[in-house]
Chain A
Amino acid sequence: MLTNDKIPLIKEKALWMRRAAFTMVHRAQLGHPGGDFSAMDVLATLYFGVLNYDPKRPDWADRDRFIMSKGHATGALYATLCAAGYFPEDWLPTYMQTKSLLNGHPNRNYLPGVETNTGPLGHGFPVAVGVAIAGQLSGAGYRTYVLTGDGEQQEGSNWEAAMVAGHRKLGNLTLIIDRNRLQQGAGTEETSGLDPLDDKYRAFGFEVCEVSGHDHAALLAVLAAPPGDRPRCVIANTVKGKGVSFMENVASWHHGVPNDAQYEQAMKELV
């Protein structure tokens, strides 16, 4: 199958996932919709165009791994895992309700499809490096993908992980950075600047690609490309809140939640 044949499915799923995630956040009156929506097209492309997985066997040893290092974007992650068949749709309305399996940050012991517990930033990338080393040691064919936020790159543990990944030439590892240029309170470059992020990762031994994080065909091309002899860093240029006019590029939607009118408005736009 030509990879471009997957694009209609990815688009359809991304739209469904945005509607599902915003419905969860509206119902809970809790969540991080800005970062959910910047990451959504990356997730849809991975789960409906790239990853090799079986939701009926979440522990299948040879599955490709995806680790959501920006663990606060559970609206996106849970909508994705639900769309991928890991759990039924009627779990979604329990998001962040008392004793729900859909915790504010993901827990692998509660929820099938979650590879590791994240939440504190800078944890997912080091764990992904360990998963990739395990694959390298055994010669297993699976690939490991990890998504971090861009503000998250300010955590030093990422650079420890980058050094190890570059040193060990982990070609089976792909780091994706959700480069929406906004962190909780302000722009990344105003807070503690990250640019030039591409040069930084090149210097750590990564093959670096920069793409639009909302262009499914471009994402598919880089994420599904065969592994090379070095780890890959995909800088996905994204828009925080992408898809809902009043959320786009507004930092306060990092953990803003919609009132009823905003919810209705968003549902009209997400078609």
Chain B
Amino acid sequence: MATAAPTAAGFQDCRNIWVSTLEQLAEADPRIVAVVNDSVGSSKLNSFQKKFPDRVVNVGIAEQVMVGVGAGLANGGRIPFVSAASCFITGRALEQVKADIAYANFNVKLVGQSSGVAYGELGATHHSIEDFAWLRPLANLTVIVPADAWETAEAVKWAAAHDGPVFLRLSRMPVPDLQIPNRSFRPGKAETVRQGGDLTIIACGTTVHLAAAAAERLATEGIAARVLNFSTINPLDEEALHAASATGAIVTVEEASVRGGLGGAVAEFTAAHKPVPVERVGFPGFLPTGSVDWLFREYGLSPEGIEAAALRALGRRG
């Protein structure tokens, strides 16, 4: 298994590949439509709208009906991709996501854009760091957080082909390709970014490349950290978590609240099966205003911060 080698060059805004992939799929499958809440631009759907003007359903600034319309379009035989800022499609329409999509088990793809702290300076109303905790308990809903452009494309293709509700959590923050050779996208399975047996760093989305960089730093200290790209948050890859517990210490990293998200899930799982030290890197609650870069550094979502968390976890293991 290769080691990820993030570089400054080649960072990509994954929304570009999200929309080019969706356009390719829509060319081939006339059932695919986009549903938006006045979010054509923020969802990067302008070119999609030009190509398929009658296949964009813009309900205006109205998230509840947006999600309900998604369920209705699925009832009518369409494959809707319902796309809006993650903070609104989840928080504002959470009961619709629960009842109309997950519980009713409609073939709807929800796409949370600009998730996490992408809208850093706009403040906590626009941060979407609670979404993992809100969505993770919803049965039937597969929650996927792609880590780079390649995985974004694969996740969009898989979502279109999968018969069931999916939530794709996308970012507008550029990320590097993980450069893992011979990859295949396996929903529900963690991807090994780097082998190692001294501890396991479990990351998702925009933080995977940071976890890989942290593992590089740990390697120079003689610590072999396994790095997992845990891109499916629901359902959990329990086999990977059992194996992570066996390494004796775990660090979780997410651009989300540490309460109830990926860190919460891993802590729940290990406490129930094989308790090991778990250090959770993420956000504690409502955040001050600040740029994305500042928020990431301030809360330890950085190679240095993840390295420090790893050393704490190893220290607790004793």
Annotate B65-84 by CB proximity to A: 1 below 8 A, 0 otherwise: 10111111111111010000
Query: Which of A122, A133, A167 meets B69, CB within 8 Å?
Result: A133
* A-B residue pair count with CB separations less than 8 angstroms: 105
Which one of A119, A134, A164 contacts B75 once the chains associate, using CB atoms below 8 Å?
A: A134
Ordered by A's residue number, 5 sampled pairs between the chains whose C-beta atoms are within 8 Å are A116-B72, A123-B99, A127-B75, A130-B73, A134-B77
A116 to B74, CA, bound (A): 10
Q: Identify the closest chain B residue to A137 (Cβ).
A: B54
Q: Which residues of A contact B54 (CB under 8 A)?
A: 137
Per-residue CB contact flags for chain A residues 53-66 toward chain B (1 = under 8 Å, else 0) read 00000000100010
Query: CB-CB contacts of B49-60 with A at 8 A, as 1s and 0s?
Result: 000001101011
Query: Is B64's beta carbon under 8 Å from chain A?
Result: yes
Given contacts A123-B95, A164-B59, 8 further A-B contacts (CB under 8 A): A120-B95, A126-B71, A128-B72, A129-B72, A130-B70, A130-B80, A135-B76, A164-B65
**Is the beta-carbon distance between A157 and B76 smaller than 8 angstroms?**
no
Within 8 Å of chain A (Cβ to Cβ): is B62?
yes
Contacts of B70 in A (CB 8 A): 130
* B129 adjacent to chain A (CB < 8 Å): no
Q: Which residues in window 69-123 of B have CB below 8 A to A? A: 69-78, 80, 95-96, 99-100, 103-106
Q: Return the 8 tightest CB-CB contacts between A and B, nearest first.
A: A130-B72, A134-B76, A126-B68, A130-B69, A160-B65, A160-B62, A117-B104, A157-B64
| CB contact between A119 and one of B67, B99, B106 (< 8 Å): that residue | B99
Tell me if B33 counts as interface (CB < 8 A to partner A): yes
CA distance A225 to B100 in the complex (A): 30
Question: How big is chain B's contact interface, by range?
Answer: 20 to 34
Could you say which of A107, A134, A160 contacts B64, with CB atoms under 8 Å apart? A160
Q: Which of A110-145 touch B at CB < 8 Å?
A: 115-120, 122-123, 125-135, 137-138, 140
A120 pairs with B99, CB closer than 8 A: yes
CB neighbours of B95 from chain A (8 A): 120, 123
A125→B54 CA distance, assembly (Å): 22
B-chain residues with CB within 8 Å of residue A135 when the two chains form the complex: 76
Check if A73 is an interface residue, CB within 8 A of chain B: no
Question: Residue A200 at the B interface, CB < 8 A?
Answer: no
Within 8 A of B (CB), among A59-81: 61, 65
A44 close to B (CB within 8 Å): no
Name A137's contact: one of B71, B75, B78, B105 (CB within 8 Å): B78
Contacts of A123 in B (CB 8 A): 68, 95-96, 99-100
Q: How far apart are the CA atoms of A167 and B65 in the complex, in Å? A: 13
A211 CB–B CB distance under 8 Å: no
A193 at the interface (CB under 8 A from B): no
Q: Does A163 contact B (CB under 8 A)?
A: yes
B68 near A129 (CB under 8 angstroms)? yes
Q: Within the complex, what minimum Cβ distance (angstroms) separates B166 from chain A? A: 17
| Chain A residues closer than 8 Å to B71, beta-carbon distance | 116, 126-127, 130
Q: Which residues 79-127 in A have Cβ within 8 Å of B in the complex?
A: 107-109, 115-120, 122-123, 125-127
Closest to B35 in A: A130
Tell me the smallest distance from the CB of A205 to a CB of chain B, in Å.
14
The answer, among A107, A130, A163, for a CB contact under 8 Å with B68, is A130
Residues of the A chain whose Cβ atoms lie less than 8 Å from the Cβ of B73? 130-131, 133-134
- With A109-B105, A117-B104, A156-B64 as known contacts, state yes or no: A132 contacts B72, CB within 8 Å: yes
Taking A156-B64, A163-B60 as contacts, is the C-beta distance between A126 and B75 under 8 angstroms?
no
A residues within 8 A CB of B67?
126
The CA of A161 and the CA of B96, in the complex, are separated in Å by 13
Are B57 and A133 in touch, CB under 8 angstroms?
yes
Complex Cα distance A119/B99, Å? 8
Residue of B nearest to A105 (CB): B99
B280 to chain A, nearest CB (A): 33
B65 → A minimal CB distance (Å): 4
> Which A residues are CB-close (under 8 A) to B96?
123, 126, 157
Instruction: Determine the residue in chain B with the shortest Cβ distance to A117.
Output: B104
Are B65 and A108 interface neighbours, CB within 8 A?
no
Q: Quick one: which of B69, B72, B104 contacts A109, CB cutoff 8 A?
A: B104
A129 and B75 form a contact (CB under 8 A): no
- Name the A residues within 8 Å of B60 (CB-CB): 160, 163-164, 167
Residues of A within 8 A of B64 (CB): 122, 126, 156-157, 160
A266 to B104 alpha-carbon distance, docked (Å): 35
* A115 CB, nearest partner CB in chain B, Å: 6
| Distance in Å: Cβ of A15 to nearest Cβ of chain B | 31
B104 touches A161 (CB 8 A): no
Q: Which residues of A contact B76 (CB under 8 A)?
A: 130-131, 133-135, 138, 140
Name A106's closest neighbour in chain B (CB-CB).
B104
Residue contact A161 to B105, C-beta cutoff 8 Å: no
The docked-state distance in angstroms from the alpha carbon of A107 to that of B71 is 14
Q: Which residues of A contact B33 (CB under 8 A)?
A: 137
Q: Which residues of B contact A120 (CB under 8 A)?
A: 95, 99
Q: Complex Cα distance A61/B104, Å?
A: 18
Pick from B78, B80, B103: contact of A117, CB under 8 Å: B103
Q: Which residue of chain A has the shortest Cβ distance to B106 in the bound complex?
A: A116
Distance between A56 CB and nearest chain B CB, rounded to angstroms: 19
Residues of B within 8 A of A109 (CB): 104-105
A residues less than 8 Å from B105 (CB atoms): 108-109
In the complex the two chains form, is B68's CB within 8 Å of A127's CB? yes
Chain B residue contacts of A163, Cβ below 8 A: 60, 62, 65
Residues of chain A within 8 A of B62, CB atoms compared: 160, 163-164
